[in-house]
Amino acid sequence: MRMVALIFALACALGISACARLNARTTESSSSRAAESGATNSSGAETSPAAAAADLHAQASTNSATAPAKVDFPTQIRPILEARCQPCHFSGGKVYQRMPFDRPETIKTLGTKLFTRIKDENERRLIRDFLAQD
C-alpha cells in the first residue's frame, strides 16, 4: 500500500512539475512580449498584452457611450488568446490544424465557447463585442 501511495505521489509531482514548466514558459513569453510592447497599467507596472487590450477596450466603451468602438482582432483579441490558449491553438500547436486561434473566422465560429479558458470579465466583454460586430 505504501508503494502505491509513493508511486502516486511521484506521478503527481512529475505531472505538476511538467505543467509548471509549461506555464512558466508561456508566462515568460507573454511577459517578454509585454516588455517589448511597453504595456503598463495605471500604476506603471507592466501588464500582459491581453490585460492591456481588455483595459483599453473597457476605457473606450466607458468614454464613448454613444458609439461603441470597433474591436480589432490583431491588436485586441489575439493578445488575449495568445495569453490563454498558447501554445496549442497557435502555429505549431497540437490542435492548430483543427482550431487555429490566430484567425478571426475561427473565433467567430466558436463564439462564447471560448469562455471555458477566459475567465476575466473584461476580456469576455471584449470578445462578446468582437463577436457582435459584422
Q: pLDDT tens digit string along 2-60? A: 665 556 655 555 555 444 455 455 545 444 444 444 444 444 555 566 666 666 556 65
* SS3 state at 28: helix
Which of residues 68 and 42 earns the better pLDDT score? 68
Give Cα 58 distance to the centre of its chain. 17
Residue-range definition of the domain harbouring residue 63:
2-132
Residue 101 has phi, psi (to 5 degrees) of -85, 5
How many folded domains does the chain comprise?
A: 1
User: Can you give the pLDDT at residue 18?
Assistant: 46
Residues near 103 by beta carbon (within 8 Å), at least 6 away in sequence: none
Sign of the CA dihedral running 107, 109, 112, 118: negative
Q: What's the pLDDT score for residue 67?
A: 56
Does this model's pTM top 0.75? My answer is no
Alpha carbon dihedral 27, 29, 32, 36, in 10-degree steps, equals: -130
